């Protein structure tokens, strides 16, 4: 029996809907294994601006610092997306949280599930067997450099800055991951143009001597974007800077079949944070069509981080069960789609050791409340 404190930041748009399912799944895990997960929600993003004027209130940051792990839905709202002059933005909350918690490595695994191969627009033989992990630097680069408008108001700038230290700490993680996988690491950069990329190459090339078992290659990001679609199976571990990692991981979701499937872990010096790679998908808010699996798999990564590996494996089994039985939201099941809630209920039910026969799409709420 373990007792853990998990700070939950549901955020905006579909964030609260998908987070609710992951919390339900964690509750099912706690019930099944006799653990105690103290889960409390805190505002961040547009909802926090509405409530306090601050996208990352002190209370939220303090709660994250005091927690054993953080679970995040997503933030962002069209009100801000459509107003480029807004000075306070939801995304500032997320960026500051990453910086304050020292979450310098964002780990994004990409898997092609056999059962979902037909859902990808890519040719099945190209993507079958894809298994890669992207190590995206998360607290440096252009998202964090000085930004502003030129004095004459006719221009704008965003500076991209990286230090050797910032590169080395995430590169070590990526090398170690590659050493335990298929021993291949690809650095994605733009070293033919950017000085920061040349520093990344310099450091990674030097570090490679410490990991002789790992084969390192270097790929320019424009080419990498093409290779991701053309031959994704060639990749094992991709190491890249903040913005390139943000972009190529959304692209990689096409291999899995949906943005709603890809989880992530953000780790660093302090507490770790777990979140789907997708955003707040505002068009889907309140419609029950958002896929909660990315957030549920993020909860599985959270359990692994807490060294609850058996528990995490059960969550992954339950997700596989949902995938194999077509218990999927409408982007992956167009003929008889399940709602966000129903997918979450199915997975939680399976974990709480109910047989599939007892699970019923229509009365699942009643059943669940007796189990969780």
Ligand X SMILES: NC(=O)C1=CN([C@@H]2O[C@H](COP(=O)(O)OP(=O)(O)OC[C@H]3O[C@@H](n4cnc5c(N)ncnc54)[C@H](O)[C@@H]3O)[C@@H](O)[C@H]2O)C=CC1
Ligand Y SMILES: CC(C)CC(=O)C(=O)O
- The binding site for ligand X (CB under 6 A) comprises 14, 18, 74-77, 81, 91, 94, 258-260, 275, 278-282, 290-291, 294, 331
Among 68, 81, 91, 341, binds ligand Y (CB under 6 A): 91
Report the nearest approach of ligand Y to the CB of residue 143 (Å). 6
Task: Convert residues 140-169 into a mask of x (bound to ligand Y by CB under 6 A) and - (unbound).
Answer: ---x--------------------------
50 labelled binding-site residue: no
Cβ distance to ligand Y smaller for residue 242 or 329:
242
CB 94 within 8 A of CB 88: no
- The binding site for Mg ion (CB under 5 A) comprises 246
169 labelled binding-site residue: no
Report the nearest approach of ligand X to the CB of residue 72 (Å). 7
Which residue in 114, 158, 222, 353 is the catalytic one? 222
3-state helix, strand, coil in the chain (%, to 5): 50, 20, 35
Distance CA 18, CA 24 (A): 10
Residue 246 annotated among the catalytic residues of the structure: yes
Closest-by-Cβ residue to ligand Y is 91
Cβ distance to ligand Y smaller for residue 94 or 284:
94
Alpha helices in the chain (DSSP H): 15-33, 46-52, 58-66, 78-81, 90-100, 124-127, 164-179, 195-207, 221-230, 242-256, 293-305, 309-324, 340-351, 364-371
Is 286 strand, coil or helix? coil
Q: Does 77 bind ligand Y (CB under 6 A)?
A: no
Is 148 strand, coil or helix? strand
What is the per-residue burial (b if ≥16 Cβ within 10 Å, else e) of 15-37? bbbbbbbbbbbbbbbbbbeebeb
Cβ distance to ligand Y smaller for residue 19 or 277:
277
Closest-by-Cβ residue to Mg ion is 246
Which residue in 79, 190, 233, 285 is the catalytic one? 190
Main-chain dihedrals φ then ψ at residue 147, nearest 5 degrees: -135, 155
Distance CA 229, CA 224 (A): 9
Residue 158 annotated among the catalytic residues of the structure: no
Q: How many other CB atoms are there within 10 angstroms of residue 198's CB atom?
A: 14
CA-to-CA separations, 16 to 5, 57, 73, 362, in angstroms, rounded:
19, 18, 6, 22
Which residue in 113, 143, 281, 338 is the catalytic one? 143
Which residue in 50, 81, 131, 250 is the catalytic one? 250
Q: How many other CB atoms are there within 10 angstroms of residue 112's CB atom?
A: 22
CA-to-CA separations, 212 to 25, 134, 208, 222, in angstroms, rounded:
41, 21, 7, 28
Residue 143 annotated among the catalytic residues of the structure: yes
Report the nearest approach of ligand X to the CB of residue 334 (Å). 13
96 labelled binding-site residue: no
Residue 42 annotated among the catalytic residues of the structure: no
Cβ distance to ligand X smaller for residue 117 or 214:
117
Q: Residue 274's closest CA among 284, 291, 262, 289? A: 262
Distance CA 125, CA 96 (A): 41
Cβ distance to ligand Y smaller for residue 291 or 345:
291
Distance CA 306, CA 327 (A): 28
Which residue in 4, 189, 246, 338 is the catalytic one? 246
Residue 250 annotated among the catalytic residues of the structure: yes
Out of Mg ion, ligand X, ligand Y, none, which partner does residue 48 contact, by CB within 5 to 8 A per kind? none
Bridge partners, residue 267, by sequence: 105
Report the nearest approach of ligand X to the CB of residue 69 (Å). 16
136 labelled binding-site residue: yes
Binding site for ligand Y (CB under 6 A): 91, 94, 143, 246, 277
Active-site amino acid positions:
143, 190, 222, 246, 250
Binding residues: 98, 108, 136, 222, 246, 250
Binding residues for substrate: 98, 108, 136, 222
Binding residues for Mg(2+): 222, 246, 250
């Amino acid at each position: 029996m373990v007792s853990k404190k998990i700070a939950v930041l549901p955020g905006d748009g579909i964030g609260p809907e998908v987070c609710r399912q992951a919390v339900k799944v964690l509750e099912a895990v706690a019930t099944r294994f006799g653990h105690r997960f103290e889960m409390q929600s805190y505002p961040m993003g547009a909802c926090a601006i509405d409530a306090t004027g601050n996208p990352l209130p002190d209370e939220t940051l303090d709660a994250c610092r005091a927690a054993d792990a953080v679970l995040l839905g997503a933030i962002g709202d069209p009100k801000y997306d459509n107003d480029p002059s807004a000075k306070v933005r939801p995304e500032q909350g997320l960026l500051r949280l990453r910086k304050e918690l020292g979450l310098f490595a964002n780990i994004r695994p990409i898997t092609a599930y056999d059962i979902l191969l037909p859902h990808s627009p890519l040719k099945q033989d190209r993507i079958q067997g894809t298994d890669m992990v992207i190590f995206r630097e998360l607290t440096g680069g252009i998202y964090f450099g000085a930004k502003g408008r030129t004095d004459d108001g006719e221009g704008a700038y965003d500076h991209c800055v990286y230090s050797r230290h910032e590169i080395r700490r995430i590169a070590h993680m990526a090398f170690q991951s590659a050493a335990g996988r298929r021993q291949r690491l690809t650095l994605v950069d733009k070293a033919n143009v950017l000085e920061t990329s040349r520093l990344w190459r310099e450091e990674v090339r030097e570090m490679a001597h410490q990991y002789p078992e790992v084969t390192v290659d270097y790929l320019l990001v424009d080419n990498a974007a093409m290779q991701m679609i053309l031959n994704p199976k060639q990749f094992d571990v991709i190491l890249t800077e903040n913005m390139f990692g943000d972009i190529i991981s959304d692209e990689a979701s096409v291999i899995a079949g949906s943005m709603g499937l890809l989880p992530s872990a953000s780790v660093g010096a302090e507490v770790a944070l777990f979140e789907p790679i997708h955003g707040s998908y505002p068009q889907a808010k309140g419609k029950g069509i958002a896929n909660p699996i990315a957030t549920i798999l993020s909860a599985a990564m959270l359990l692994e981080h807490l060294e609850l590996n058996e528990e995490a494996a059960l969550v992954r089994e339950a997700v596989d069960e949902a995938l194999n039985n077509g218990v999927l939201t409408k982007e992956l099941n167009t003929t008889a789609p399940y709602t966000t809630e129903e997918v979450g209920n199915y997975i939680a039910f399976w974990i709480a050791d109910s047989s599939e026969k007892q699970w019923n799409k229509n009365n699942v709420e009643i059943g669940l409340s007796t189990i969780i």
